[in-house]
Structure 1
Amino acid sequence: MEPTSGINAKALTPELRRMVQNLPESLLKIVDWFEEQGHSVWIVGGAIRNALLESPIVEYDLATTMIPEKMKMYPDMIPTGEKFGTITFRSKGDFYEITTLRTEKGYGDGRRPDEVEWGLSLSVDLSRRDLSMNSMALDVKKGVYYDPYGGFEDLKRKRICAVGEPKARLSEDALRILRTYRFMDQGIAGVWIPEPNLANALRSTRSMLSKIAGERVWSELKRILIGKNASRILQQMADDGILRQIFNFDWMLDDYRISLLDSLEGDDVLDRLVILFHDAPITACEQASKSLKLSNQEKKTLIFRHRCLGHIPELLDSTLRIHQYVLGNWAQQHLRVEALFAPLNQGGHSKSEIHECISRSEELVTSPSSKSLATGDWIMSHTNVQQGPKLGALKNWLHREQIARNLTDLEQIETLLCTLSWHEDEFAHWPKLQFP
């Protein structure tokens, strides 16, 4: 039986012809290799979708009739997901994931199939995919494509449809819930709405997100957060109870707060997460970091930025320098975030006050080197303070004054030391190099 039995081949659209004409040589080399081995291979999924949308193609995924054991004959391959039929081919420095046609049985855990069997039917393989827009395949050699679930028509009509029964499809892998919200954001084309049955299924299956590993949830959520229409997508996720399911926090997202995501400069995903957590307690931030399995650095950065919310430095060169030093590259962005929230801060900092901070910070002259000039040994030799907490506190105090006063050499530090009340035994209250 032919692998394409039961589905009609369609002539390439102008967009798909352009894609084929511009395929990388590295990919064509792989297609030739499969033909030499007597096996079929197709470009599948996102590359076809993006080509039809005339969006940049980020990667090419392929499907083949060849089983993984045979694919390992390719001279430069990596068995990345052999258990699930996926082998990575390297060609001319490029990497391509190639997966054997397969059928899947049972999704008892709502995350992955209980059983995978290699197949010979392209139709069956495409039937297990999530959305119609992702269930198309293209044969480079024959110059045709296959679209058994009407993905092209759905793209033309700007609608999002599941392959088959929506609830069953989402239940197979709950991460598809988040993928669907991600595909709602079509960049400059706006927000596409899922058809009613799929929209209902998104809400009715949301509890299954608890079965998905935090890393996988975070990977999808990051892509949603930096989308062009992130504010509208997140609002829909809040309305549908998805954010509540992910974060275990009752979201109060009014139009102004959620629209701030559109006003925020840059695509720093943690900045956007901070805006979502603006009114949440720090414990909610900590819990989210844990459940999403953020890296230690991401967790540290998120919680620190959350603690900075609602605080701005005084309009003094010294405090502005400390703010710049402690926050580093995020200092100006922090002030811009505060300016966005200023209209909501009743009795807090005004927008004009924050903009004055931004202006003064941009004009501020600071030393190119901010490393502490006074080492522990230098301090001990000049004060007879021995190693211990007091020495650490004095070093931090000196470093703070070095930054605040823009000091550049040890002679200035020594002069400063003579003016500080470091002889006293109580040092817990000494100024620290910190913000807020």
Structure 2
Amino acid sequence: MEDPSTLLTKLGDDDLQVLRRLSSEGTAWIVGGWVRDGFSSTHNSDLDIATNLVPADVIRLFPDSLTHGARFGTIGVRIPGNGKTWEVTSLRSEAGYTDGRRPDAVVFGKNIIEDLSRRDFTVNSMAISFPDGEFLDPFGGIGDLRSKTIRTVGNPSKRFSEDGLRILRGYRFLSASDLWSLSDETEAAMKECVSMIDNVSSERIGSEVRRIINLPSGGNSLKLMQQHGILEKILPGANLPDRFRTTGDISVDMALLYADSDVGPNTSSDTLKENLKLTKEEISIFDLLMSLQVQNSLVSAEEIRRFHVAVPPEWKGSVMRYFESKGEDRSQILSTIEPPVAGAVPLVDGNTLSEFTGLDPGIRLGRLKGHLHRLQIERDMTCINEVLDCVGEIDYVNGDPLDWELLSWP
């Protein structure tokens, strides 16, 4: 574990520029995730800074800054010629969280210890002053970091009642590795405060769930969330498979949770739209995965050629991850069956088909053309005559055109 005195040597030149300018008129402390991750020699977190300057002073020092969070004391500091943004927050003393989401009022303070006391978990309540490098750890964060314990700062029920998102953040920190655990008091309060999730916006919940599934032990965190009743609150009817491991693909992981659920595909799709705010494309991929009979899919050359053509390229990775997670790896057979030589475009157009069959434009001609396109792809035909020869297999005069399958997958 890193020595606190060496952490400041990890700062970049642009970080130092921001800190020095703040320190020229006030005091600055590096806080939160950057300090936490620094002790693990993994600076994956953005540099967050606390200062005793009020927002107006920070804006004066950095005129190009983002100010949408100014009323809560947070400025997105930017410097010319640099694409980075530093979150600089004035020291605060807050007066209650009536809505369980944001403080009722923000009073700017001068005491860094009081400011750290407002934070969610002890491992996030450490700070390093700049430029002298004094390490502040008033709530035992370094000890919890060493023991890999998630523990709230102060009363856990109070912390979670202030902002229900902190519950999900706790599960997210657990997802970093199998070595992390919750303190008994924190775990009990998470279960006790389940209802606080109702006060958190779907966008914020969706953001945390995405982070959880992208971490090494995301599956274990989701299992614990299920045991605590949190998962049912967020994703009603979701059912974790045995030995579930997340893929990091939101559409795939949600399909795995709902594949063996009693909840129907339409209901689960609506849940994901409303509760996690998945995008239209993510929902479309989820719907596709939910329609699959995995054991019987992608086993024939004809179907694989349809897969090559009918499924958008950016969706295919999700399909493969879903199959692999279900224990059905199709990578080898997919590599042996090439996409159709003639490509995805129909070889026979409507005018040619109308002249050949005598059919007038309409549903019969349209469905016939679509069905021939499917046969062209399945059989890897390369010329118009091959496709037209298939017309003899179809009762295109008296048959029901709705029986003629169009190109699709599955």
TM-score by length of 1: 0.84
Give how far 1:149 is off.
Answer: 1.0
The answer to whether the 8 A contact 1:225-1:273 is kept is no
Residue 257 of structure 2 corresponds to which residue in structure 1?
Answer: 276
| SS of alignment partner, residue 99 of structure 1 | strand
Give how far 1:50 is off.
Answer: 0.4
**Equivalence map 1:87-236=2 (5 Å):** 87-91=75-79, 92-187=82-177, 190-236=178-224
* 2:165 maps to amino acid: L
Residue 394 of structure 1 corresponds to which residue in structure 2?
Answer: 368
**Equivalence map 1:18-417=2 (5 Å):** 18-36=6-24, 38-73=25-60, 74-91=62-79, 92-187=82-177, 190-249=178-237, 252-253=239-240, 257-261=241-245, 267-280=248-261, 281-289=264-272, 290-310=274-294, 312-313=296-297, 315-329=299-313, 330-331=315-316, 334=319, 337-338=322-323, 340-341=325-326, 354=328, 358-367=331-340, 369-375=343-349, 379=353, 385=359, 388-410=362-384, 412-417=386-391
Q: Residues 101 and 332 from structure 1, CA distance in 2 versus in 1: closer, same or farther, beyond 3 angstroms?
A: closer
Q: Once structures 1 and 2 are overlaid, which stretch shifts more, 111-120 or 128-137?
A: 111-120
C-alpha RMSD over aligned residues:
2.6
Q: Once structures 1 and 2 are overlaid, which stretch shifts more, 43-52 or 278-287?
A: 278-287
Once residues 84 and 18 of structure 2 are traced to their aligned partners in structure 1, the CA distance between those partners, rounded to angstroms, is 11
Q: Once structures 1 and 2 are overlaid, which stretch shifts more, 47-56 or 363-372?
A: 363-372
Once residues 298 and 336 of structure 1 are traced to their aligned partners in structure 2, the CA distance between those partners, rounded to angstroms, is 14
Q: Once structures 1 and 2 are overlaid, which stretch shifts more, 93-102 or 214-223?
A: 93-102
| SS of alignment partner, residue 36 of structure 2 | helix
The answer to whether the 8 A contact 2:210-2:248 is kept is no
Once residues 133 and 235 of structure 1 are traced to their aligned partners in structure 2, the CA distance between those partners, rounded to angstroms, is 23
| SS of alignment partner, residue 231 of structure 1 | helix
The answer to whether the 8 A contact 2:27-2:130 is kept is no
TM-score by length of 2: 0.89
Q: Percent identity?
A: 29
The answer to whether the 8 A contact 2:249-2:318 is kept is no
Once residues 64 and 306 of structure 1 are traced to their aligned partners in structure 2, the CA distance between those partners, rounded to angstroms, is 50
Residue 3 of structure 1 corresponds to which residue in structure 2?
Answer: none
1:222-247 Cα offsets, whole Å, 9 max, x none, are: 11112211222111111111111112
Once residues 27 and 336 of structure 1 are traced to their aligned partners in structure 2, the CA distance between those partners, rounded to angstroms, is 39
| SS of alignment partner, residue 39 of structure 1 | coil
Give how far 1:174 is off.
Answer: 0.4
Q: Residues 76 and 380 from structure 1, CA distance in 2 versus in 1: closer, same or farther, beyond 3 angstroms?
A: farther
1:362-382 Cα offsets, whole Å, 9 max, x none, are: 201223632444455665565
Q: Residues 30 and 341 from structure 1, CA distance in 2 versus in 1: closer, same or farther, beyond 3 angstroms?
A: closer
* 2:259 maps to amino acid: H
Residue 350 of structure 1 corresponds to which residue in structure 2?
Answer: none
Give how far 1:209 is off.
Answer: 0.8
Q: Residues 215 and 376 from structure 1, CA distance in 2 versus in 1: closer, same or farther, beyond 3 angstroms?
A: farther
The answer to whether the 8 A contact 1:313-1:323 is kept is no
Q: Once structures 1 and 2 are overlaid, which stretch shifts more, 358-367 or 159-168?
A: 358-367
| SS of alignment partner, residue 69 of structure 1 | helix
1:169-215 Cα offsets, whole Å, 9 max, x none, are: 0111101101001111233xx23221111110000001121221111
1:329-381 Cα offsets, whole Å, 9 max, x none, are: 55576466446546xxxxxxxxxxx55x5432220122363244445566556
The answer to whether the 8 A contact 1:285-1:303 is kept is no
Residue 396 of structure 2 corresponds to which residue in structure 1?
Answer: 422
Once residues 340 and 64 of structure 2 are traced to their aligned partners in structure 1, the CA distance between those partners, rounded to angstroms, is 51
Q: Which runs of 4+ in 1 moved over 6 A?
A: none
1:232-286 Cα offsets, whole Å, 9 max, x none, are: 211111111111111222x554xxx241416xxx532321221111212314422
The answer to whether the 8 A contact 1:80-1:87 is kept is yes
Residue 432 of structure 1 corresponds to which residue in structure 2?
Answer: 406
Once residues 254 and 338 of structure 2 are traced to their aligned partners in structure 1, the CA distance between those partners, rounded to angstroms, is 32
Give how far 1:293 is off.
Answer: 1.8
Give how far 1:435 is off.
Answer: 2.8
Q: Residues 381 and 170 from structure 1, CA distance in 2 versus in 1: closer, same or farther, beyond 3 angstroms?
A: farther
Give how far 1:325 is off.
Answer: 3.1
Count residues in correspondence. 402
Once residues 400 and 339 of structure 2 are traced to their aligned partners in structure 1, the CA distance between those partners, rounded to angstroms, is 31
Give how far 1:425 is off.
Answer: 6.3
Once residues 51 and 182 of structure 1 are traced to their aligned partners in structure 2, the CA distance between those partners, rounded to angstroms, is 18
Give how far 1:415 is off.
Answer: 4.5
The answer to whether the 8 A contact 1:185-1:191 is kept is no
Give how far 1:35 is off.
Answer: 2.4
| SS of alignment partner, residue 66 of structure 2 | strand
5+ residue gaps, structure 2, are none
Give how far 1:417 is off.
Answer: 4.7
Q: Residues 149 and 375 from structure 1, CA distance in 2 versus in 1: closer, same or farther, beyond 3 angstroms?
A: farther
Once residues 3 and 356 of structure 2 are traced to their aligned partners in structure 1, the CA distance between those partners, rounded to angstroms, is 74
